Chains A and B, each alone.
Chain A
Amino acid sequence: GENVEQHPSTLSVQEGDSAVIKCTYSDSASNYFPWYKQELGKRPQLIIDIRSNVGEKKDQRIAVTLNKTAKHFSLHITETQPEDSAVYFCAATPGSGYSTLTFGKGTMLLVSP
């Protein structure tokens, strides 16, 4: 089955800096890669996603890149703000027509004012 590795497990940045979180996946058939933000005590919220026919997608301060050859994808947050502090999860579908998600272990992002 699919295996998703996520790094780093924790990331501390100063407000205004950029943050990058990286994930790798194992199943070359995977074709959908969402990112979720989970604040303490809240539900995971979908913030951005990318499909395998696209190499990059941007939405305001967040962007995601995908390298299918290397089987890795990354989340980029620019001009970080304290409210970006949360746990971020990457995920991948296992492919083969399945839509279930395999999640990474998460990255705790702390943005200091």
Chain B
Amino acid sequence: AQSVTQLDSHVSVSEGTPVLLRCNYSSSYSPSLFWYVQHPNKGLQLLLKYTSAATLVKGINGFEAEFKKSETSFHLTKPSAHMSDAAEYFCVVPLQGGSQGNLIFGKGTKLSVKP
């Protein structure tokens, strides 16, 4: 069965420093993978998605993620954090065989950005 594990519940960085949010997936095949972000009092917004085209995926707001099959990872990175990046980030995989593709969420990583 598919699953995703977000290794850190909380990450704190200083503004202007790199961001790394870790996600490992478990799947018997090469899945699609998503990163969603949730700002306070806002909906879940798609940051980027991997669908077996390029392994390095660029998303909105300068974020990118690299699909590494050998490591079963899909870590989210950004070279330089901005205060507006403070939010909760979710790594997501669709359920294999789900007729309408229900999504399986990781527990989320809360990103804090210090000035």
Query: Do A and B come from the same complex?
Result: no
Chain A contacts to B: CB under 8 angstroms = none
Chain B contacts to A: CB under 8 angstroms = none
